[in-house]
Amino acid sequence: MTVEFENYPEIKSYAKSVTEPKWFTDIRVKALESQPKLELPNFEKIRYHRWPIQLKEKLKKVSSNAELLDDLPIEDAKHLVVQLGQDTLQKSGLTTFEEQGVVICDWQEALEKHSGLVQKYFMQKAIKFDEDLLTAQHVANLTSGLFIYVPKNTVVKEPLTTYFVQDSTQKNDYVHHVILVVDSNSEFSYLENLMTVGSEKTTANIIVEVIAQADSHIKFASVDRLGANTTTYLNRRGYLERNSKIDWSMGMMNDGNIVGDFDSDLVGDGAHSEVKVVAISTGKQVQGIDTRVTNIGRHTIGHILQHGVILSRSTLTFNGIGHIIKGAKGADAQQESRVLMLSTKAKGDANPILLIDDNDVTAGHAASVGRVNQEQLYYLMSRGLPKKVAERLVIRGFLGPVLAAIPSKVIEEQLKVTIERKLVDGQKDE
Amino acid sequence: MSTLEIKDLHVSIEGKNILKGVNLTMKTGEIHAIMGPNGTGKSTLSEAIMGHPAYKVTQGEVLLNGENILGLPVDERARAGLFLAMQYPAEIPGVTNAEFIRGAINARRPEDDALSIRSFLKQLDETMSVLDMTEEMADRYLNEGFSGGEKKRNEILQLMMIKPKFAILDEIDSGLDIDALKVVSRGVNKMRGPEFGSLIITHYQRLLNYIVPDVVHVMMGGRIVKQGGPELAKRLEDEGYAGLRDELGLDIKLVDEDA
Ligand SMILES: Nc1ncnc2c1ncn2[C@@H]1O[C@H](COP(=O)(O)OP(=O)(O)O)[C@@H](O)[C@H]1O
Ligand SMILES: [Mg+2]
């Protein structure tokens, strides 16, 4: 099929302004053309269809005022990439990585210098560009991101930290793409921070593809703090080959409405995914989190553990989907989703969904939505702790099992700080 | 000196009237004991004073230095100087004993004058050794997986660290062997002084051999039916509650009527 750029002057002029390779512009156009026959994806009990989640702004190159970062809690990590909107503002401590052959490039640079490598993975394995309307809109409008490639047999000892700051001082869509490929027999540890600066009403569409090749091990952690006026589709997808492992640790500390679509495809035999999610919903926000692990290979292991807390009039939905495909002999799918309610006006939901198409497997689930234990609160308050402090302690105990299971102490500590901050802010509307 | 006055206190739980007019006055510097058969309302009295939301005060008042505290939430009563060592302390996972106790102490101090970690740890160490508690108890999660005896010691540890004006000890002796009982008593006796008063609730006289009270109150059927000195406790031990009940001509059924 030939692609007619002439019909899409916006794409044409944008492509020129950033000099992206032809194959990439082609796939943009295909994604655009596929949209009329695509629909929004459905997630059990997450009603987001009327949100302003679809991308509307025109594809364009914009830059941001670097001073906007000054007031943000950006840690001075040893190995760091900081992006604001479409601009990369900081890359530091990456030499040791580069010496090991690791590629870390922002999106435009990756398309320029590693076009073949990007083409091999971009929307090929973990996700297809025309999977649904949101993925197609993503590809057509993508303007920022990061590409990370870790070559074979490479153990990277220290973690890479990234900050992706959405610039909502301007009314632009934030369309961001991350590819993390860890080649065979390698290890990599990654911490991603999503944030917002500014308070314009905006839409974010973020896709993160994590590709774990045979015998690799990836520790993927994220702390998401997108702003109250940002409506987000956040898709993180793992593709796991033989005997690979991904440890996901995700803290959903956003203030706005968000659909989190977290999937792991255990394609190769013996692949293993551990997904830990903690979420806190406050104010009037809605966070819908759909976590799926699909066991395709034999002896694959998929575990989901998600705990969340809801305050005020907020909503939190946890779907846990364990899908064992026929032929996945010896597969194991386990999940636990729990929601703690602090307010009678908050809405919580924990839906375990097990789809099992093979007999020779093990699977289990636990789910609950409950209130704060009044005896615990009473006990803490009887020692003089104010109610809100007591509540935060009970919450910490509730989130403890997930936090304790996070493989990195540093990330566990960072998450605790973020949780405390989000709770203190959230309790102000109680 | 501080005073705690309970005046004509009526308390119900789940619509059932449990306390039917309790009167009791005490001052710091004094130790009072409340004895009574099981199910008579001793825990109800302590929970109502502390402010447990399930216990409804239907009449009467509780005055701390002349101020009625019944309108205050639990945490404010605590900061005003009340402490309740509970019969069944809650377990709080994820929160260590040490950080909890430090938080409780700092909740009583101005924000810019928090107790330093150093001096806190020093005090904690000293107090734990009075109570024969091992150091690791400080880092364990609050009451989680503690044995019955460990929980009781931990209540006394908090009492000694927080230093309230008035401490109600609800059956702090239950389930303790004689050695543990001595340790717990040692802790409470160390607190004795002009700025500390305690209301010790017990079913048995044994504890009162170690913590000798100034006044003994006997509670039956939701009221205080008799007061006396330490000899009253001894007499109850010998004669049982039934004897006193019959002497006073009370029409009360004892749950655990034994002799
Ligand atoms: N949470 C509760 N729900 C219902 N009844 C209760 C509750 N707590 C206590 N009671 C009842 O109140 C009465 C007094 O109990 P309590 O104060 O615990 O007695 P004591 O401490 O003297 O043994 C008992 O009849 C008991 O069954
Ligand atoms: Mg009792």
Quick check: B109 contacting A, CB < 8 Å?
no
- Cα separations in angstroms, A286 against A71, A93, B152, B214: 26, 37, 44, 60
Query: Is the confidence at residue B229, as pLDDT, over 70?
Result: yes
User: Which residue type, as a one-letter code, is found at position A325?
Assistant: I
Cβ B54 under 6 angstroms from ligand 1: yes
Measured CA to CA, the distance from residue B78 to residue B163 in angstroms comes to: 11
- Which of B9, B12, B13 is the pocket-test mutation for ligand 1 (most atoms within 8 Å of CB)? B13
List the B215-220 sheet strands across, edge first: B82-85, B166-170, B197-202, B31-35, B215-220, B223-228
**For chain B, what percent of residues have pLDDT higher than 90?**
88
Cβ B37 under 6 angstroms from ligand 1: no
Helices marked H in A100-215 = 107-113, 115-121, 133-141
Mean pLDDT on A353-379: 96
Mutating which of B92, B144, B160 best tests the A interface, going by the most A Cβ atoms within 10 A? Answer: B92
Measured CA to CA, the distance from residue B198 to residue B165 in angstroms comes to: 8
pLDDT tier at A127, thresholds 50, 70, 90: very high
Looking at residue A7, its pLDDT comes to: 79
Looking at residue A204, its pLDDT comes to: 98
Strand A160-167 vs strand A187-197: parallel, antiparallel, or unpaired? parallel
* Nearest protein Cα to ligand 1, atom 6: B13
Q: B49: CA distance to ligand 2 center in Å?
A: 14
Quick check: B18 contacting A, CB < 8 Å?
no
Atom of ligand 1 lying closest to residue B40 CA: 22
What are the two backbone dihedrals, phi and then psi, of residue A234, each rounded to the nearest 5 degrees?
-120, 115
Query: How much is the pTM?
Result: 0.90
Q: B21: CA distance to ligand 1 center in Å?
A: 16
Mutating which of A377, A381, A382, A403 best tests the B interface, going by the most B Cβ atoms within 10 A? Answer: A382
Cβ <8 Å between A384 and B100: no
Q: What is the ipTM of this complex?
A: 0.96
Question: Any residues with CB less than 8 A from the CB of B226 and at least 6 apart, and which?
Answer: B217, B218, B232, B244, B248
Per domain, the residue ranges of chain A are 9-268
Q: Write out chain A residues lying below 8 Å of B158, CB-based.
A: 383
Looking at residue B257, its pLDDT comes to: 53
**For chain A, what percent of residues have pLDDT higher than 90?**
90
Looking at residue B259, its pLDDT comes to: 38
Collapsing DSSP to helix, strand or coil, A249 comes out as strand
Mean pLDDT on A291-313: 97
Quick check: A390 contacting B, CB < 8 Å?
yes
Q: B199: CA distance to ligand 2 center in Å?
A: 13
Measured CA to CA, the distance from residue B232 to residue B218 in angstroms comes to: 9
Cβ <8 Å between A397 and B93: yes
Quick one: which of A201, A205, A206 has its CA closest to A168? A201
Q: A390: CA distance to ligand 1 center in Å?
A: 26
List the A315-324 sheet strands across, edge first: A103-106, A144-150, A174-182, A202-212, A230-240, A258-266, A286-295, A315-324, A347-356
Mean pLDDT on A224-247: 98
Give per-residue pLDDT as tens, A202-223.
999 999 999 999 999 999 999 9
Angle ∠(A16,A17,A19) on CA atoms, nearest 5: 55
Cβ B42 under 6 angstroms from ligand 1: yes
Quick one: which of B20, B81, B83, B19 has its CA closest to B55? B19
Helices B97-106 and B117-130: crossing angle in degrees, nearest 10, is 120
Cβ <8 Å between A382 and B50: yes
Cβ B88 under 6 angstroms from ligand 1: no
Looking at residue A2, its pLDDT comes to: 55
Looking at residue B198, its pLDDT comes to: 98
- Which of B35, B44, B225, B256 is the pocket-test mutation for ligand 1 (most atoms within 8 Å of CB)? B44
Measured CA to CA, the distance from residue A280 to residue A427 in angstroms comes to: 11
- Cα separations in angstroms, A41 against A54, A58, A338: 12, 23, 24
Q: Write out chain A residues lying below 8 Å of B90, CB-based.
A: 373, 375-376, 378-380
Mean pLDDT on A64-70: 96
Q: Which of A140-149, A332-341, A392-401 has the lowest mean pLDDT?
A: A392-401
Query: Is the confidence at residue A268, as pLDDT, over 50?
Result: yes
Q: B20: CA distance to ligand 1 center in Å?
A: 13
Query: Is the confidence at residue A1, as pLDDT, over 80?
Result: no
Say if residues A205 and A178 touch (Cβ distance below 8 Å): no
| Closest Cβ opposite residue A396 in set B74, B95, B107 | B95
pLDDT tier at A407, thresholds 50, 70, 90: confident
Query: Is the confidence at residue B258, as pLDDT, over 50?
Result: no
User: In Å, how far is A274's CA from the nearest CA of chain B?
Assistant: 22
- Render chain B in DSSP notation, one character per residue: --EEEEEEEEEEETTEEEEEEEEEEEETT-EEEEE--TTSSHHHHHHHHHT-TTEEEEEEEEEETTEE-TTS-HHHHHHHTEEEE-SSPPP-TTSBHHHHHHHHHHTTS-GGGPPPHHHHHHHHHHHHHHTT--GGGGTSBTTTT--HHHHHHHHHHHHHHH--SEEEEESTTTT--HHHHHHHHHHHHHH-BTTBEEEEEESSSTHHHHS--SEEEEEETTEEEEEE-HHHHHHHHHHHHHHHHHHHT-----TT---
- Measured between CA atoms, the residue of chain B closest to residue A397 is B94
Q: Write out chain A residues lying below 8 Å of B74, CB-based.
A: 378, 381-382
Q: Write out chain B residues lying below 8 Å of A416, CB-based.
A: none
Fold of B3-90+161-248: Rossmann fold (3.40.50)
Looking at residue A272, its pLDDT comes to: 98
| Closest Cβ opposite residue B52 in set A373, A378, A386 | A378
Q: Which of A107-116, A130-139, A354-363, A421-430 has the lowest mean pLDDT?
A: A421-430
Quick one: which of A291, A407, A288 has its CA closest to A348? A288
Cβ <8 Å between A384 and B90: no
Looking at residue A418, its pLDDT comes to: 92
Average pLDDT of chain B, as a whole number: 94
Q: B239: CA distance to ligand 1 center in Å?
A: 24
User: Which residue type, as a one-letter code, is found at position A15?
Assistant: A
pLDDT tier at A3, thresholds 50, 70, 90: low
Say if residues B55 and B228 touch (Cβ distance below 8 Å): no
Higher pLDDT, A407 or B19: B19
Looking at residue A8, its pLDDT comes to: 86
Measured CA to CA, the distance from residue A290 to residue A296 in angstroms comes to: 19
What are the two backbone dihedrals, phi and then psi, of residue B126, each rounded to the nearest 5 degrees?
-60, -45
Average pLDDT of chain A, as a whole number: 95
Cβ B13 under 6 angstroms from ligand 1: yes
Cβ B56 under 6 angstroms from ligand 1: no
| Closest Cβ opposite residue A389 in set B91, B103, B141 | B103
Q: B148: CA distance to ligand 1 center in Å?
A: 20
Quick check: B117 contacting A, CB < 8 Å?
no
* Nearest protein Cα to ligand 1, atom 25: B39
- Cα separations in angstroms, B69 against A208, B45, B62, B122: 56, 14, 6, 33
Structure tokens at A46: 């997450």
Place of tokens 């309307």: A133
Exposed e or buried b for every residue in B78-87, given b needs 16+ CB within 10 A?
bbbbbbbbbb
Measured CA to CA, the distance from residue A208 to residue A177 in angstroms comes to: 6
